A and B are shown apart, each in its own frame.
Chain A
Amino acid sequence: MRPDPATAPDRPSAYLDHAASTPMRPEAVEAMLPYLAGTFANPSGAHGPSRSARRALDAAREELASVVGCEPDEVVFTSGGTEADNLAVLGAHAGRPGPVLASAVEHRAVLAPVRAVGGTVVPVDARGVVDLDAARELATGARRDGGAVTLASLMAVNSETGVVQPVDRFCEAVRAVDGDTLVHCDAAQALAWLDVSAATSRCDLVTLSAHKFGGPKGTGALVVRGRAARVLRPVTYGGGQERELRPGTQNVAGAVAMAVAARLAAAERDATLRRVAALRDRLADGLADAVGALEPAPRALRVAGSCHLRFPGVVGEELVLLADREGVSTSTGSACASGAREPSHVLVAMGWDEASAAEAVRISLGATTTAAEVEHALGVVVRAVRQLRLGAAPAR
Chain B
Amino acid sequence: MAMSGGVDSSVAAGLLVEDGHEVVGATMKLWGGASDSGCCSAADVRDARRVCDQLGVEHHVFNFTTEFTASVVDPYVADHAAGRTPNPCVECNRHLKFGALLERAARLGFAAVATGHHARVERSPGTGRPRLRRGADVAKDQSYVLAALTSAELDRVLLPVGALTKAEVRAFAERRGLATAAKPDSQDVCFVASRAPGGGPSSGRRSFLEDRMELHPGRVLDAATGESLGEVPAVELVTVGQRRGLPAGGGRRRFAVAIDTAARTVVVGDEYDLLAGEVVLSARTWVGDPLPVGARCTVQASAHGRPVAATSLADRVRFDRPSRRVAPGQLVACYLGDEVVGSGVAC
Contacts and interface: CB of A to CB of B under 8 A. Distances in A.
A211 to B, nearest CB: 22
B148 to A, nearest CB: 21
B156 A391 contact: no
Interface in A1-39: 1-2, 4
Interface string A293-318: 00000000000000000000001011
Interface in B141-193: 156
Interface in B1-36: 17, 22-23, 27, 29
A395 interface: yes
Given A1-B57, A395-B156, A340 B107 contact: no
B62 A317 contact: yes
A87 to B, nearest CB: 26
B111 A321 contact: no
A354 B66 contact: yes
A1 B17 contact: yes
B111 A395 contact: yes
A342 interface: yes
B270 interface: no
B40 interface: yes
B42 interface: yes
Contacts of A339: 45, 49, 60-61
B41 to A, nearest CB: 8
A189 B288 CA distance: 56
A318 B56 contact: no
A321 B66 CA distance: 19
A271 interface: no
B42 A338 contact: yes
A392 interface: yes
B63 A396 contact: no
B58 interface: yes
Contacts of A321: 60, 108
A318 B63 contact: no
B42 A391 contact: no
A388 B111 contact: no
A393 B66 contact: no
A387 B107 contact: yes
Interface string B98-139: 000001101111010000000000000000000000000000
A317 B63 contact: yes
A387 B61 CA distance: 21
A46 interface: no
B186 to A, nearest CB: 16
B229 to A, nearest CB: 48
B56 A342 contact: no
A286 to B, nearest CB: 22
Contacts of B107: 315, 318, 387-388, 390-393
Contacts of B22: 1-2
A318 B111 contact: no
B108 A318 contact: yes
A318 B104 contact: yes
B163 to A, nearest CB: 22
Contact of A338 (B29, B106, B111, B156): B29
A387 B107 CA distance: 7
A103 to B, nearest CB: 24
B32 to A, nearest CB: 8
Interface string A361-396: 000000000000000000000000001101111011
Given A1-B56, A392-B103, A341 B63 contact: yes
Contacts of A342: 63
A322 interface: yes
A337 interface: yes
Interface in B40-73: 40-42, 45, 49, 56-58, 60-63, 65-66
Given A1-B57, A340-B63, A391-B106, A396 B111 contact: yes
- Interface hub of A321, A322, A387, A396 (most chain B Cβ within 10 A): A321
Nearest to A354: B66
Contacts of B56: 1, 4
Contacts of B106: 391-393, 395
A322 B63 contact: no
B42 A337 contact: yes
B246 to A, nearest CB: 40
Nearest to A395: B111
A181 B7 CA distance: 56
Contacts of B65: 340
Interface string A316-353: 01100110010000000000111111110000000000
Interface in B60-88: 60-63, 65-66
A343 B61 CA distance: 14
B108 A322 contact: yes
B109 A393 contact: yes
A313 to B, nearest CB: 11
Contacts of A317: 62-63
B114 to A, nearest CB: 14
Interface in B189-245: none
Contacts of B111: 395-396
Contacts of A4: 56, 58
A1 B107 CA distance: 21
Contacts of B61: 338-341
Contacts of A343: 66
A25 B95 CA distance: 47
A393 B63 CA distance: 21
A388 B66 CA distance: 20
Contact of B45 (A338, A341, A393): A338
Nearest to B49: A339
A214 B11 CA distance: 41
B62 to A, nearest CB: 7
B20 to A, nearest CB: 8
Given A343-B66, A393-B109, 11 more contacts: A1-B17, A1-B22, A337-B42, A338-B40, A338-B45, A340-B61, A340-B62, A387-B107, A388-B107, A388-B108, A391-B107
Closest 8 CB pairs of A and B: A340-B29, A392-B106, A339-B61, A340-B63, A340-B61, A338-B45, A396-B111, A393-B109
26 contacts: A1-B23, A315-B107, A317-B63, A321-B108, A322-B108, A322-B109, A336-B29, A337-B42, A338-B27, A339-B49, A339-B60, A340-B45, A340-B62, A340-B63, A341-B63, A388-B107, A390-B107, A391-B106, A392-B106, A392-B107, A393-B107, A393-B109, A395-B111, A395-B156, A396-B109, A396-B111
Interface of B: 17, 22-23, 27, 29, 40-42, 45, 49, 56-58, 60-63, 65-66, 103-104, 106-109, 111, 156
